[in-house]
């Protein structure tokens, strides 16, 4: 199923030292007396000297750490929206480190997205990683999950919508289903009007013969959430003896949301199905259909 966004931290892990105290060289650090950052003052004729970022002491020996410790260390700073420039640079570098565990990179991505001021080019990096065949499929899926989160608050979202639609049509593995969820988020935000192309995307995933089961389930579920009565024929064709129980459950639930009295009769035939989950879905769908009929 879909890899979930969020914090991947080993329970009970105690980091050496207090990370919160070490992450002290913030973006609002006081300037020198003339208004310039202290480390920008250079005598004429001399090379500039970069002052080490004290906050980076929290990550000393990073390359020798276990993946569990790395993941937890990043999780400890994920809630800080104004990390120091040195830490931001470090996170930017490590975001592209394919040797890291996906959970660690996931935390790094979350920390960067949480910043009050997003790093320039962050969204473009996720776009590139989605298309990078050298990246693990799970990380490409994680990157798809970031496309909407990295959008600026204003501006044209059509390029991102088109990217998501392209992934829906030809992305590998779980990416089409993830892209469909992100496109749905974009629509719900009110910044993108779905139109016919969204409907076509739903039908495409639901009926593609080589689509993953979980992608088909996502598409059918979105039809129900959208109240897409026009897609009822697509949902109905999922109810066959050959359909996997998981897809049956979602299809029956969708009929409960947007189906008709005709669908009630078909759904009722699944009340004696061998799979208990299918039976429960049928019972719930019939209750919804009956409640709508009573209105």
DSSP codes joined into one string, 216-266: HHHHHHHHHHTT-GGGHHHHHTT-STTS-HHHHHHHHHHHHHH--HHHHHH
Q: What are the residues whose beta carbons fall under 8 Å from the beta carbon of 250, sequence distance 6 or more?
A: 217, 220, 221, 281
Percent of the chain with pLDDT over 90: 51
Confidence of residue 120 (pLDDT cuts 50, 70, 90): confident
Supply the pLDDT for residue 227.
76
Supply the pLDDT for residue 27.
47
pLDDT of residue 290 exceeding 70: yes
Contact 139, 109 (CB under 8 A): no
pLDDT by residue (tens digit) across 27-86? Answer: 444 433 344 443 443 454 554 446 788 989 999 999 999 999 999 999 999 999 999 999
Query: Which token pair is 272?
Result: 């004696």
pLDDT by residue (tens digit) across 172-225? Answer: 888 998 998 899 888 888 888 877 777 888 888 888 877 889 889 988 998 888
Instruction: Please provide the average confidence, as pLDDT, over all residues in the chain.
Output: 83
Cα first-last separation, the chain: 37
Tell me which of 38 and 102 has the higher pLDDT: 102
Q: What are the residues whose beta carbons fall under 8 Å from the beta carbon of 31, sequence distance 6 or more?
A: 37, 38
Query: Which token pair is 97?
Result: 């480190």
Q: Of 126, 138, 128, whose CA–CA distance to 100 is shortest?
A: 138
Supply the pLDDT for residue 90.
95
- Taking residues 260-272, report their average pLDDT: 92
CA angle 131-137-141, nearest 5°?
A: 75
Kindly tell me the burial class for residue 220, based on how many C-beta atoms sit within 10 Å of its own C-beta (0-12, 13-18, 19 or more): buried
């Amino acid at each position: 199923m879909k890899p979930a966004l969020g914090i991947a931290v080993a329970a009970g892990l105690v980091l050496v030292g207090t990370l919160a105290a070490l992450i002290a060289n913030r973006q609002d650090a006081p300037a020198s007396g003339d208004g310039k950052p202290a480390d920008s003052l250079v005598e004429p004729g001399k090379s500039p000297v970069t002052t080490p970022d004290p906050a980076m002491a929290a990550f000393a020996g990073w390359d020798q750490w276990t993946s569990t410790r790395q993941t937890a260390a990043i999780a400890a700073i994920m809630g800080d929206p104004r990390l120091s420039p040195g830490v931001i640079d470090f996170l930017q570098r490590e975001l592209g480190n394919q040797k890291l565990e996906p959970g660690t990179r996931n935390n790094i991505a979350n920390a960067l997205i949480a910043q009050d001021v997003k790093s320039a080019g962050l969204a473009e990096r996720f776009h590139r990683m989605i298309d990078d065949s050298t990246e693990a499929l799970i990380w490409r899926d994680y990157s798809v999950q970031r496309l909407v989160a990295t959008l600026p608050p204003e501006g044209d979202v059509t390029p991102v919508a088109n990217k998501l639609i392209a992934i829906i049509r030809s992305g590998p593995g779980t990416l089409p289903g993830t892209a469909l969820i992100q496109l749905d988020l974009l629509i719900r935000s009110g910044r993108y009007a779905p139109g016919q192309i969204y409907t076509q995307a739903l039908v495409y995933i639901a009926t593609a013969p080589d689509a993953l089961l979980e992608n088909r389930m996502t598409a059918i579920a979105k039809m129900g959430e959208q109240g897409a009565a026009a897609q009822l024929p697509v949902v109905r064709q999922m109810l066959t003896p050959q359909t996997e129980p998981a897809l049956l459950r979602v299809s029956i639930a969708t009929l409960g949301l947007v189906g008709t009295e005709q669908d009630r009769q078909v759904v009722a035939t699944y009340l004696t199905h061998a799979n208990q989950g299918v039976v429960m879905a049928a019972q719930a769908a019939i209750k919804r259909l009956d409640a709508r009929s009573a209105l």
